[in-house]
Amino acid sequence: LKMGTACIDDLPDVVIEYIFCYLSPYRDFKSCQLVNKAWYAHAQEAVRKIRRDFLNAVSMQSVAWSRKPMEPGPTISKRYSHSACILGDSMYVFGGCTTANTTFNDLWRLDLATRRWIRPLTMGTYPPPKACASLVAYKENLLLFGGWTHTSPYPLHQTWRIFRHLHVYNSTANRWTQVSTVGGCPSMAGHSATMQGTLMAVFGGLHCVNPVGPFSSSNDVWVLDLQTYMWSKQNTTTPKPWPRYGHSQISLDEKHMLIVGGCGGPNMLLNDVWLLEIPDEPNRSWIWKEVTVTNRECAAPQLSFHPACKVGDRVVVLSKAQRAYATPSGLHPAGMLRVRPPSRTWVPPRPDAQSRSRPSSSHQQAQQRETCVNGTRGVLKRPLEGSSPSSLSSSSSGSSSSGACPSDAARAGTSAAGSSSGEEDEEGSEGGPSRLPKKTALSREEAGSRPSVKPNARQNRQRQLELLDRMEQRLKALRAGDVQREVPAPLRRRPAT
């Protein structure tokens, strides 16, 4: 073949189908099918291959999450308990609430082909802000029913408000319409709804019969005929599922639907599965059947307030993991397993723990031990035979002065300053009692236990106490008349030069 006449149709069919598998399944396949009959067949085969590979991956549990980048532009805000459904090539999201007790009534559309959020500027009658409502797709319309909303902060002690409104959004006309229905369907929220042909089947939820009455969970089935917009309470067989809300409802076909999980009340999470069968005769009661589930040890730990959908012949539930630190070995290779990072919690050390944290020999540790002061800190030493208290005090002071730690050196300097100042006030021989035994002991203890930012602050305080003591002794002597009245040296005036 010549280079000028070669085209993509000259490639083998297997190669063309392999290339088509990388196209977007939402919009590109439709464009490829309009080229010619050959491309239509290649696109159909690529769709079957993609679907087959996805179903095999789900059945083998070899799926993995991946974050898809969004197109720049406006995006939806954070919310929960919103309503969502698929219509065509887009996913629609309505309402929801936040942790600040705020509910929304905005409608957002996610284009699955371009991954771009679009907020339609709709017309008509907007629904009120609400959450926990049901949203289903029917032809070109979205049906929004029920829901609840937070009340205004004033007046106080108001109850939640539950709706029974039915709003229809037409995607072609971009318009909301509030539809007036016939029948006595109660207000409800936290329910589930699916389309069964031309019927919208609603099950469970929190019901409120009276506008000011209490809320209660229900296990009733209500049906809305979209041809006449008439509500009717459907008769069902017994036994019935337990009344619940926050469950999942999956439509298997036009005659069968599945109810999974739910919450029956405070501290009452349900994990049962029920099948609801619609008979061919319109006047017969719908049939409830409880499904026996095997391998419950492999089930999701919680089936309440979690979404579920049908994938092939399986139901997939998005729930939390059984263990927060457990990762299935089949999803990630061994090299991609994350290791728990080390703790970053910092604990400040004790002021006197620096010397104990350093490794040293037993002889050095024995030398660095402090003498017990007033029974608050230090180590009691057993006196040796034939040793005097003065020798013990001198040895302890020598060992403290030879320490290697900065705190020990500071304590040694402080004690040395205190002993030198105390020697000036002694009246008798060595070892005689000092005039300030209590004040000097307390000042030494404070200086040793709590080091000051200024090194000379404790010494200045010691000198001030000694000066006050001298003045007190001189005042006592003056009162007795034994000593002449003299002015202390620090208070004398220097002669003028």
Alpha carbon distance 219, 107 (integer Å):
30
List the Cα angle 164/169/175 in 5-degree steps. 120
Separation between Cα atoms, residue 201 and residue 185, nearest integer Å: 12
Angle at 43 between CA 37 and CA 44, to 5 degrees: 90
Q: Write the class of the CATH domain 8-59.
A: mainly alpha
Q: Report the DSSP pairing between strands 116-118 and 175-179.
A: unpaired
Question: Looking at the DSSP assignment, which residues form a beta bridge with residue 144?
Answer: 135, 167
| pLDDT reported for residue 375 | 53
Specify the pLDDT at position 263.
94
Give the whole-angstrom CA distance, residue 42 versus residue 21: 10
φ, ψ for residue 187, nearest 5 deg: -70, 140
Helices (H) and strands (E) in the chain, counts: 9, 24
Rounded CA-CA distance 373/48 in Å is 88
Beta bridge partners of 93: 84, 108
DSSP H helical segments within 75-189, as ranges? none
Per-residue pLDDT of the chain (497 residues; tens, 9 = 90+): 445 677 888 888 889 888 988 888 888 888 888 888 989 998 999 999 999 999 999 988 888 888 888 788 889 999 999 999 999 989 999 999 998 878 999 999 999 988 899 999 999 999 999 999 999 999 999 999 999 987 766 666 666 788 999 999 999 999 999 999 998 899 999 999 999 999 999 999 999 866 556 788 999 999 999 999 999 999 999 999 999 999 999 999 999 999 999 999 888 999 999 999 999 998 899 999 999 999 888 888 888 888 999 998 899 998 877 665 444 433 333 333 344 444 333 344 445 544 454 444 444 444 555 565 555 555 555 555 544 444 444 444 444 434 444 444 344 444 443 444 444 443 434 444 444 444 444 444 444 445 544 556 667 888 888 889 999 988 888 888 754 555 445 445 555 54
CA dihedral 66, 72, 75, 77 (to 10 degrees): 70
469: its two tokens: 């003591």
Q: What's the confidence (pLDDT) of residue 97?
A: 92
**Mind giving me the DSSP string for 358-402?**
S---HHHHHHTPPBPBTTTBSB--PPPTT--HHHHHHHHHHHHHT
Residue 308 neighbours by CB under 8 Å, 6+ apart = 248, 250, 260, 261, 315, 316, 317, 318
8 A C-beta contact, residue 175 and residue 120: no
Contacts by 256-259 with C-beta closer than 8 Å and gap 24+? 257/194, 257/196, 257/201, 258/291, 258/315, 259/192, 259/203, 259/204
- Mark out the alpha helices in 157-227 (DSSP H runs): none
What span, in angstroms and rounded, lies between the C-alpha atoms of 453 and 450? 10
Residues 167/179, Cβ–Cβ less than 8 Å? yes
Question: Rounded CA gap, 36 and 40, in Å?
Answer: 6
Nearest Cα residue to 300 out of 271, 257, 264: 271
Which single residue is written with the structure tokens 């298997």?
A: 252
Residue whose tokens read 């230090």? 378
Question: Rounded to an integer, what is the distance from CA 234 to the centroid of its chain?
Answer: 42
| Cα 176 from chain centroid (whole Å) | 36
Nearest to 440 by CA among 412, 413, 421, 467: 421
Q: How far is CA 332 from the centre of its chain?
A: 24
CA distance to 6, 10, 375, 474, per residue, from 2 (Å): 6, 12, 104, 125
- Cis ω before 239 (30° cut-off from 0): yes
CB atoms within 10 A of CB 205: 32
pLDDT of residue 332: 39
Domain chopping of the chain, boundaries: 8-59, 403-420+439-485
Amino acid at 363: H
Amino acid at 13: D
Angle of CA points 205, 208, 209, to nearest 5°: 125
- SS3 (DSSP) at 45: helix
In whole angstroms, give the CA distance from residue 163 to residue 129.
10
* Residue (of 201, 202, 207) closest to 189 by Cα position: 207
Burial classification of residue 1, based on how many CB atoms lie within 10 Å of its CB (0-12 exposed, 13-18 middle, 19 or more buried):
exposed
pLDDT computed for residue 261 by the predictor: 93
